[in-house]
Amino acid sequence: MKRMMTVWLLILWTACSLTMAQAQEKETLHVVSCFAKKDRMLGGLIGMTQVKFKRWVKRINKQTDLVVKTYDCSGNDFGKENILSKLEEVLAVAKPNDAILFYYMGHGFRYEDQTDADQWPQLLAGNSETGWYAEEDYYTMALHAKEIKEKLDGANVRLTLGIVEACNNTLEGVLYRPNLASLHPGIDPFKEQKIEAERYQELYTKARGHIWVGSASPHELSRLDERYGGLFFYALWKAHEEATTSFAPAHWEELLASASQHFKTLTKELYKEEVHPQIVTDLMGVKAVEIPPQEDAPGEENNVISAPDE
């Protein structure tokens, strides 16, 4: 009897140990978010976009088995040293099967002597006491987006996704206060629709490689709108919803191409000139899950885009 009890206790202990080991090895999505909310000129719109970004991260967490760990560098924590410190912290703890999502939204610019071969903007990563930036701030607070890209490209993880939503024009251009476009009556990407978890898993748990995106090409301004906040994030979310609610397998290259087209269309309509995102992908092939087409239930439509989960 005692021997049988000992055997059962050994089996139970082994099962618990395996469960704990599996939990410890669970893949993690490390999210580094940098939103310049304290900027007096655009902080309100940037804050609006951050709310949508948080909903996006919650959606990823809900639709995948990834554990989400956040590293926020927004508001009072928005600054060059803090951004680099958080990024180094992520790189130190991230494991080979983890993923890293980096998102920056704030001012960006180019120095006059910065050539087009250097395609990525300088990020104005810092807060001023007044909410406005002096000329010297464009030197003391500058963080080259290329530096962040190189760190992510060298990360020993399964997937990196870096997005910089910032202007990429010369220093002289960013000192002007932008004329915000009029409200746009386009599709609101926050309406209700069923989300396919398989699509999220294809994007966030099966994809391998590096992705880097800048919302503007050299000498271009990134754009915001009073209704949608950051127009590139709006375009990205719209393309993301299209990809994750489709019966076709989801692929980052197609998703980002769609986001780029949405963004160019929006900027053309609202600002009378296209802004051209820069997209660099280095991804390995992904074995997607095939799902057969299904007919809509009576009274249902499949073209409504859902609101992110609170």
Which of 11-25, 207-221, 291-305 has the highest average model confidence (pLDDT)? 207-221
Q: Which position has the higher pLDDT, 20 or 228?
A: 228
Is residue 3 over pLDDT 70?
Answer: no
Angle between helices 43-63 and 231-244 (to 10 degrees): 20
For residue 142 the two structure tokens come to 């500058």
Range in 166-170, 178-182, 271-275 with the lowest mean pLDDT: 178-182
Q: Decide the pairing of beta strands 67-72 and 99-105.
A: unpaired
**Among candidates 167, 152, 168, which has minimal Cα distance to 281?**
152
Phi then psi for residue 212, to 5 deg, are -135, 130
Give the C-alpha distances (Å, rounded to integers) separating 165 from 196, 214, 220, 280. Answer: 27, 6, 12, 15
Q: pLDDT tens across 49-99, in order?
A: 999 999 999 999 999 989 999 999 999 999 999 999 999 999 999 999 999
Q: What angle do CA 76, 82, 84 make, to 5 degrees?
A: 150
Is residue 6 over pLDDT 70?
Answer: no
**Among candidates 132, 77, 135, 127, which has minimal Cα distance to 109?**
135
pLDDT at 225: 87
pLDDT at 55: 95
Backbone dihedral region for residue 299 (phi beyond 0: left; psi -120 to 50: alpha; all else: beta)? left
Q: Give all domains of the chain, ordered by start, each with its CATH number.
A: 26-283 (3.40.50.1460)
Q: Decide the pairing of beta strands 209-214 and 28-35.
A: unpaired
pLDDT bracket for residue 289 (50, 70, 90): very low
Q: What pairs with residue 211 in β-bridges?
A: 161, 281
Q: Which position has the higher pLDDT, 93 or 296?
A: 93
Label each residue of the chain as H, E or C.
CHHHHHHHHHHHHHHHHHHHHHHHCCCEEEEEEEECCCCCCCHHHHHHHHHHHHHHHHHHHHHCCCEEEEEECCHHHCCHHHHHHHHHHHHHHCCCCCEEEEEEECCEEECCCCCCCCCCCEEECCCCCCCCCCCCHHHHCEEEHHHHHHHHHCCCCCEEEEEEECCECECCHHHCCCCCECCCCCCCCCCCCCCCHHHHHHHHHHCCEEEEEECCCCCECCCEECCCEEHHHHHHHHHHHHHHCCCCCCCHHHHHHHHHHHHHHHHHHHHCCCCCCEEEEEECCCCCCCCCCCCCCCCCCCCCCCCCCC
pLDDT at 23: 47
pLDDT at 197: 86
Count CA within 13 A, CB hemisphere, residue 283.
24
Q: pLDDT tens across 232-266, in order?
A: 999 999 999 999 988 888 999 999 999 999 999 99
pLDDT bracket for residue 285 (50, 70, 90): low
Phi then psi for residue 206, to 5 deg, are -110, -30
For residue 86 the two structure tokens come to 């958080």
